[in-house]
Structure 1
């Protein structure tokens, strides 16, 4: 499943192509990709036709496009009330294409956009495994009055389905003080806390392992005893590794992950911990220490750590 940097790569690509453009028509080729839109394909298409894309917003791994409805055309700068939300699932792709480009094999939904010079006129949702989908949702006020998420023109509105998750480390409105006060109240291991979307959003398994490796902390460190300096270090590490992944275009272990232009990410070539079982720890090797990355089972997944520079705490809880 795409993680935060992959979704942010898509957001940055989409906003350049979509903002300010009107949805002229909607083709639903596979209704299964609209199963989250309870009222069905006709209602979905009716909500989108004639609406203008205001922005593309992301919080954590959630991505949505606020829409200015056609009936609001005579109103001065109306605030959007609904949004088109995209759930990429395991294999969902949002691709910008020219109409002359043949349909992709697993094309599910096509949006035709108002013409704009030098820009593709179609947004296509492609999904091989059909775990993702599109749906229209209400926008609601944020609980803290801040922007709903990362956007070009932030508004204090958030897609209703994303309103339960915390801000992510790349969000300018992210509050470390709030994060740390909540973290100290947890009685769990550090990695479990990092994966808790109600505490901090957008950190998945790959980037949790990478952030913990950079911070030199073991995943089982108890959160209620974590020093502020250690919490600051791991959050800074999470932010750094995500920014590095963004610069590389995301982490791609699967040919199904591509950005809006169809290019795969390649940050997997720069990973220090995740997926490197039995390989030398780069940090230890740099100072002449012989240590290899180990893999351990964790929450039905895997965790990768260095036993030397990420020692397990004696009082660690699982």
Structure 2
């Protein structure tokens, strides 16, 4: 948490504020948020200061900013963003916000907006990126599991556009081993199914394997399995091709619905760039609902543990085999 829908909501919300903007200054309040940066905080500040943001791209839970020099030529590297367990990207000020206030730009159009109280970002502000229009992008992270860093661009192995929004096959080196996600039309769904059916591992463990299919975490794995009437501990090799496809299609459908309402928020650890929470939590069928009736058959939802992760399922309508 956040998972694919939440990161995509952040990408859509952030893009109008940063696309084409120049990063003029970086304030580092917490060096641990730059622990993945080769060369440390000084190298990070030097790499991104003065760079222009060409566009934002995402694969799975990874978000990155393609960077250009002052002439508009690509720098061959990207500013990586991973939200971890509690990371947020919050925007303050700038031209886009001013235009929205004046009624000339609708910032809510590119991204679904949820509802709920905005969290106070001041205490856990770790990195601040200042833009040339006066906007400030805050990286806020209570638990400091996420972070920012730069990563060189490499060609993707399949030669296809790196993401649905990409104009080429370049993606950060740190994302090369990450599988395409369920919202990527270039994903080879049949190849993923073949790998799943060749393994003995529980299906939920396979869904959480980011090298196989990215972006799925505990929430959308449980919801996708509920939609496909499949238990979390069913071995991959026990699934028919049709059931394996229904598991993936179910997870994809759930994530699309979550996107429509701004993602899933249980507290103020995940919010959009304007501080609003998503409200897909009220639509969950299984995750977090232990002791409540299954929306489909009325049987009480149970909680179990697999590889130190909670699993929520209906013992009646979710089959192991």
Q: Hey, what does 1:84 align to over in structure 2?
A: 79
Contact kept in structure 1, 2:90 and 2:140, CA below 8 Å: yes
* C-alpha deviation, 1:275, in angstroms: 0.9
Q: Hey, what does 2:286 align to over in structure 1?
A: 273
Q: Hey, what does 1:292 align to over in structure 2?
A: 300
Secondary structure of 1:284's counterpart equals: coil
* C-alpha deviation, 1:110, in angstroms: 1.2
* C-alpha deviation, 1:67, in angstroms: 0.4
Contact kept in structure 1, 2:202 and 2:235, CA below 8 Å: yes
Pairs within 5 Å for 1:40-51: 40-51=40-51
Pairs within 5 Å for 1:115-264: 115=133, 121-151=135-165, 153-264=166-277
State the structure with more CA Rg: 1
The worse-fitting range, judged by mean Cα deviation, of 220-229 and 268-277 is: 220-229
Q: Hey, what does 2:110 align to over in structure 1?
A: none
* C-alpha RMSD of matched pairs (Å): 1.8
Contact kept in structure 2, 1:145 and 1:156, CA below 8 Å: yes
Contact kept in structure 1, 2:121 and 2:140, CA below 8 Å: no
User: Relative contact order: is structure 1 or structure 2 higher (C-alpha 8 Å, sep ≥ 6)?
Assistant: 2
**Structure 1 ranges of 4+ moved more than 4 A:** none
TM-score by length of 1: 0.89
Cα distance between partner residues in 1 of 2:13 and 2:86: 18
Q: Hey, what does 1:113 align to over in structure 2?
A: 131
* C-alpha deviation, 1:185, in angstroms: 2.0
Cα distance between partner residues in 1 of 2:269 and 2:225: 27
Contact kept in structure 2, 1:59 and 1:150, CA below 8 Å: no
- Cα separation, partners in 2 of 1:80 and 1:177, compared to 1, 3 Å: farther
The worse-fitting range, judged by mean Cα deviation, of 301-310 and 222-231 is: 222-231
| Runs (5+) with no aligned partner, structure 2 | 95-119
Contact kept in structure 1, 2:9 and 2:262, CA below 8 Å: yes
Q: Hey, what does 2:320 align to over in structure 1?
A: 312
Q: Hey, what does 2:13 align to over in structure 1?
A: 13
Contact kept in structure 1, 2:34 and 2:147, CA below 8 Å: yes
Cα distance between partner residues in 2 of 1:113 and 1:274: 39
Secondary structure of 1:282's counterpart equals: coil
Q: Hey, what does 1:316 align to over in structure 2?
A: none
